[in-house]
Structure 1
Amino acid sequence: MGIQHVLIIDDEPDIRELLEITLGRMKLHTRSVGSVRDAKALLGSEAFDLCLTDMRLPDGDGIELVEHIQAHHPCLPVAVITAYGSMDTAVQALKSGAFDFVSKPVDLTTLRDLVSSALKLSAPTSTARIDRAHEASQENDNLLGNAPAMLRLKATIAKLARSQAPVYILGESGSGKERVAQEIHRLGPRAERPLVPVNCGAIPAELMESEFFGHIKGSFTGAVTDKQGLFQAAQGGTLFLDEVAELPLHMQVKLLRAIQERAIKPVGAAREIAVDVRILSASHKDLATEVENGRFRQDLYYRLNVIELKVPSLRERLEDLPRLADYILGRLAERWGESPRRLSGAAMTQLAGYHYPGNVRELENILERAATLCDGDLIEAEDLQLPRAAEPPAPAADTGREPLEERLAHEEKRVILEALEAVGGDREKTAQRLGLSMRQLGFRLYRLGLEGP
């Protein structure tokens, strides 16, 4: 690999010099400018492998540069340098497409880790690796299927893999949220480091802090040795928080701090430990509803839900059913050391008419039971023993009609805007008028795109 080139944009000469020296010691070639205008000019005339930009510049801001790079140089990773404590700004940058961010005063170890990860995306083998992995995903059960909903999901995952932004994976139980998290990790620059999944609903509340952050020997009864926490186990890699809605409120506070500060404090330790992990989270519950009902912290929701990714239900991709069924039956045959079972036409018709509340996981259970009960190698309709009478697939949405969720959101926005206008924009009076708390009103304004986090 030849010398890699980094563009630095900062109007403070001291900061530029610090970054140039640091990156120079990493054997990187740097070019430095102090304005948005000069940065755009260089981007148009030279090739770079990474861009580092300050958020505040004399003729614009870092968000403008991030958006420019996304539009004109989509394969160029860009990281932003934010003022200390400016998490809202950092989140905005990530939403706009930034690879990652680092806060001032710049910690050089954190900076070097960020640069190393970002440059993996610009390496000549990176695109080829992602393409090969994407093709390979067609042949395993992580993201099997070519229905339009699945193709859109795969394309989005390939894009998200190039970022370090927290992703909230939303989907029904059994739809494959953990497999989506595995793909985001596998296609990204952290693929060689661990992916650590944790079911937040399976950890007893009294052990949660120790499980997440570790503990020091003697810090409490039973702590007979030092213990590494989940954050430390995922160092340099990805931490996948499944069923994150199940976290108790006291743990949500500690998790928020760990994410914002990029540091943890083991139970009984005197000082914090810096951690470098990407956070992916998921839940079958609607986190927005959990926030409105006071069961999930709004500030943590904003940090986890920088990007929301919806996993389609099996009902939304029934075109994939034959291929999924063949794959599952083939995997069962391999496990049992037998020839694969086949589905009769009547059995496939019945499967195609079922509504799958448990999604792919339920399909796997149905087929394993049927393969066990059937006589010979052919699975008949009666072998499926579906939980209830099959229902016809839901008809495709009429493209001339507005989806119910969008209609409801538009109506909600109209009502809120009318209430605001009626009281001259007074938030407190608006909340009273609508029978909402100030927190509920603020959250609805954010969710409807009427206000930032």
Structure 2
Amino acid sequence: MNPAASILVIDDEPDLRTLYELTLLREGYRVETAASVAEAREQLSAKRFDAVITDMRLPDGFGMELLQDLRNQNRRERCVVMTAYGSAENAVEALRCGAFDYLTKPVDLRQFRSVVASAVQDPGHTTALRVARGAGAPRLAGGAGDAHKPTYALQRLVGESAAMQDVKQRIAKVARSMAPVLIRGESGTGKELVARALHASSQRNEGPLVAVNCGAIPENLLEAEFFGARKGSYTGASQDRDGYFQAARGGTLFLDEIGDLPLAMQSKLLRAIQERSVRPLGSTQEEPVDVRIVSATHRDLAADVQAGRFRQDLYYRLNVIELMIPPLRERLEDLPALCAALLSRIGQESGSPVPRLTDDALRQIARYPLTGNIRELENLLHRAVALSDGQDLVVESPASSAPPSHPQEAQPLQAPSAAEGDRAAPAADAAGVPPTLPHDLQAWLDQQEREILVRALKETGFNRTATAARLGISLRQIRYRIERLNIATPHASEGADDGL
């Protein structure tokens, strides 16, 4: 934070304007205020600021006009836009016009302070993509890390759904610990982004984060890549070189797709974690290493342990704390913000404006199964941008998209009949794939989720703690789903269920 920074706050509501002003004054900033576009322009013509915080709708115009003024004049002030009229379209438009960040009212003051602190800091230490109270990072869907170290703050995780709020709260708590963390989730859910947020929120954020894709390293090179090698230790080793453990000293070593490591390497990794030291290939000396281990997988490691594919002792060493990342189908309310963030990124990469995300396009996107989660969503948006000729985004219907992976998906889209006021969902086959695509994807998903949850509750005698363990999700998620799906549970089980 730069306490000496000067900030202009623009809002036509006196109470909110005063609240923002007092909040910033307590942080040590110098603050000026304005209640209209005209007042703001007068202030901006008189002096320079480090940041401008403006409401979207003002009595005599829009905050976007001020944003455009700053851009046309090549002013250095970073602008944060606030609005009670938040939508994906507003977010994309604000970012396209050069906004530094975008906040939705009612504004969380902790988030407000964090965004302002980012806005006034050195431009070289911030990410380029932000949207809707904390947008994405350069990569939203995980994968191997790059050599740079941008600032990934917790509030940059896209989504304000209950499921994502739970993830963010757990990250904030886990960040205080130095214990190993296992991040679980389907492919494309953003496990690496969560790992980076965890690192950025921890006491080790000044150290490096080294991201390793365990499934992408040839087996004969694993030991040298992880622990380093000495000159002459193998053909082609012309000099000493460090491995991932040495490179991550004082920081975090992120082991993505840890389940892909062969058993022989698992035992060597276990020893390095237990002893907090490594022996480079070709050396007789142990080297101490100070790293925090964060790993991730889309596999069921507990099942792999039972099947003998993963060492039980390593599993317990890595899974001291577990973070479960929800799939996109469990947080479809985050779809507008995710689309806005991804479209902004696509526009930045292409260097040209992206088509507008309309409500119709968003509804069409929601019809896709999106089993590939955010990664599949990004591919879908790339394709849609490429095929759109006008100002509005054109999204193909699921039936006309890429060739289906299941024969059932090739059948024509049919609208099921209505039943009891709701659209009836088509029955699923033995593989869980409906014979016809559902007319209402969310209704179909809710029905499937409800049936599974009711069955699990009955099998555990409506004990929600046991149900959470049975389904491999958190107790908080069980409570959220029971309430969202309006599932009736016997009142007698409440008191015996961890105080629920």
TM range (shorter): 0.5 to 0.7
Partner secondary structure for residue 227 of structure 1: coil
Deviation at 1:350, TM superposition (A): 1.7
Residues 164 and 326 in structure 2, CA contact (< 8 A), matched pair in contact too? yes
Partner-residue secondary structure (3-state), 2:179: coil
Which amino acid is 1:170 matched to?
A: R
Partner residue of 2:376 out of 331, 346, 362: 362
Identity, % of aligned positions: 50
Name the amino acid aligned to 2:206.
E
**2:173 alignment partner in structure 1:** 159
Q: CA deviation at 1:169?
A: 0.4
Tell me the distance in 2 between the aligned counterparts of 1:169 and 1:245.
12
Q: Secondary structure of the residue that 1:308 maps to in structure 2?
A: strand
* Structure 2 counterparts to residues 158-237 of structure 1, below 5 A: 158-237=172-251
Gaps of 5+ in 1: 1-127, 415-453
Matched position secondary structure for 2:375: helix
State which of 240, 247, 253 in structure 1 corresponds to 2:261.
247
Cα distance in 2 between the residues matched to 1:366 and 1:169: 26
CA apart distance, 1:406: 6.3
Distance 1:254 1:406 in 2: 41
3-state DSSP of counterpart to 2:396: helix
User: Structure 2 CA distance, aligned partners of 1:134 and 1:152?
Assistant: 24
* Cα displacement (A) at 1:133: 7.5
Tell me the equivalent position of 1:115. Answer: none
Inter-CA distance 401–264: structure 2 relative to 1 (3 Å threshold):
closer
CA displacement, residues 263-288 of structure 1 (integer Å, 9 cap, x when unaligned): 10001111101100000001111101
CA distance in 1, matches of 2:458, 2:320: 24
Paired residue for 2:126? none
Three-state SS of the structure 2 residue aligned to 1:395 is helix
The alpha-carbon distance between structure 1 residues 396 and 377, as it changes in their structure 2 partners (threshold 3 A), is same
Aligned partner of 2:314 in structure 1 is: 300
Q: Quote the Cα distance in structure 2 between the aligned partners of 1:241 and 1:233.
A: 13
Structure richer in helix, relative to its length: 1
The TM-score normalised by the length of structure 1 is 0.58
User: For the structure 1 residues 144 and 291, does the alpha-carbon distance in structure 2 shift closer, same or farther, using more than 3 Å as the test?
Assistant: same
Q: Name the counterpart of 2:360.
A: 346
**For 1:139, what is the secondary structure of its paired residue?**
coil
Please give the residue correspondences for 1:286-325 in structure 2 after superposition, counting only pairs within 5 Å: 286-325=300-339
Aligned to 2:114: 132
Change (3 A) 1:379 1:129: closer
* 1:343 Cα offset (Å): 2.8
Aligned-residue offset at 1:353: 2.3
SS in 2 for 1:257: helix
Task: Describe the shift of the 1:409–1:184 C-alpha distance in structure 2 as closer, same or farther (beyond 3 A).
Answer: farther
For 1:132, give the aligned amino acid.
S
State the one-letter code of the partner of 1:395: D
Q: Number of residues paired by the alignment?
A: 286
1:141 paired with 2:136, answer yes
Q: Which amino acid aligns with 1:141?
A: G
Q: CA deviation at 1:335?
A: 2.1
Change in CA separation of 1:223 and 1:403 when aligned onto 2, cut-off 3 Å: farther
**Cα 1:176–1:133 shift into 2, 3 Å:** farther
1:31-65 CA-partner distances (Å, limit 9, x unpaired): xxxxxxxxxxxxxxxxxxxxxxxxxxxxxxxxxxx
Question: Matched residues in 2 for 1:401 and 1:260: separation?
Answer: 40
Q: Aligned partners of 1:133 and 1:153: how far apart in 2? A: 20
Q: Work out the CA distance in 2 between the residues paired with 1:273 and 1:406.
A: 51
SS in structure 1 at match of 2:361: helix
State the alpha-carbon separation in 2 of the partners of residues 215 and 400 from structure 1: 54
Paired residue type of 2:135 = N
Give the distance between the partners of 1:272 and 1:410, measured in 2 at CA: 53
Give deviations 1:227-274, integer Å, cap 9, x for gaps.
100000000000000000010101000000000010100011111011
Alignment check: 8 A CA contact 2:279 2:285 kept:
yes
Match in the other structure for 1:259 = 273
Q: How far off is 1:400 after superposition? A: 11
For 1:376 and 1:270, the matched residues in 2 are separated by 66
Shift of 1:327: 1.7
Residues 227 and 244 in structure 2, CA contact (< 8 A), matched pair in contact too: yes
Alignment partners' CA distance in 2, 1:203 and 1:216: 19
Matches of 1:171 and 1:344, distance apart in 2: 30
In structure 2, distance between residues paired with 1:240 and 1:198: 6
User: In structure 2, what is the equivalent of residue 450 of structure 1?
Assistant: none
